[in-house]
Structure 1
């Protein structure tokens, strides 16, 4: 069993993650639309999906607009931006002055993705170094 560190502003439950994935893939949706794509398969109510949407809005990850008698929710961050925020939160919270442990952990994660992932990381680092020159 894995233990996940929870950061109150960025912590996402499984339902919240699936809702975000759906909005990234489908675009703006009403609670009913999200429920049809996520809630039906999970056997949960529209109210449960609406609660997840509201939590994501409160975390600043969604915005909503009133359309007719319902709200339509839109993701306001991309997957890449959320990844940056999560990694940034972990880095600022645990890295302190000593960053080598954080960097080693990041390389370990990349290594778990295989040689191709490590090569992509190497290319990204080389590109950033070239930009800085």
Structure 2
């Protein structure tokens, strides 16, 4: 498949098209600080409007309504929020739980690192395991054994 030519702004910056979560590259779905705050708000509120999320975030800092709206649209484009467009005010809800997002992100990033940088990633994991308490290490060994059993 041929690559698309890159589109460039008048300032010479590359323009990026909105994407639906590129599930094959977990780095693409990592969240920035504002996206994290918006997702935390939606996980806390459940189904909510931009106004609901803005009100929650604005209680702790100065933030524009349109900034929250743009961020929520981008999170929907990434596949992390589901948007109901039936009502006048769009309603959003999380596409995944916080726990599922955290686990899938860690799995995706670790898999990506182990695939592309196997030696440094494995060395880092070995260093981390050295500092783990015995109970957690036993849990890790049990999880590894279960995975090996599944793969057989």
Return the TM-score normalized by structure 1: 0.70
Q: Which residue of 2 aligns with 1:91?
A: 111
Query: Quick one: which of 44, 48, 51 aligns to 2:67?
Result: 48
Q: Is contact 1:39-1:49 (8 Å) kept?
A: no
Tell me how large the CA RMSD over aligned residues is. Answer: 3.0
Aligned counterparts of 2:44 and 2:35: Cα–Cα separation in 1: 14
Unaligned runs of 5+ in 1: 1-5
User: What are the equivalent positions in structure 2 for 1:1-133 lying under 5 Å apart?
Assistant: 7=27, 9-83=28-102, 84-85=104-105, 87-89=107-109, 91-92=111-112, 94-96=113-115, 99-109=118-128, 114-115=132-133, 116-133=135-152
Q: Which runs of 5+ in 2 are unaligned?
A: 1-25
Alpha carbons 2:30, 2:105 under 8 Å: kept: no
Displacement of 1:101 in angstroms is 3.0
Compute the TM-score of the two structures, normalised by the length of structure 2: 0.63
CA offsets, 1:19-51, max 9 Å, x none? 112222331110111112223312212211111
User: Number of aligned pairs?
Assistant: 125
More helix by share: 1
Q: Please say if residues 63 and 74 of structure 1, whose CA atoms lie closer than 8 Å, have aligned partners that are also in contact.
A: yes
Q: Secondary structure at the match of 1:73?
A: strand
- Cα deviation for residue 13 of structure 1 reads 1.2
Is the alpha carbon distance of 1:103 and 1:57 closer, same or farther for their aligned partners in structure 2, counting shifts above 3 Å? same
Contact preservation (8 Å) 2:42, 2:94: yes
> Of the two, which has the highest radius of gyration?
2
Distance 1:37 1:72 in 2: 15
Q: CA deviation at 1:98?
A: 6.1
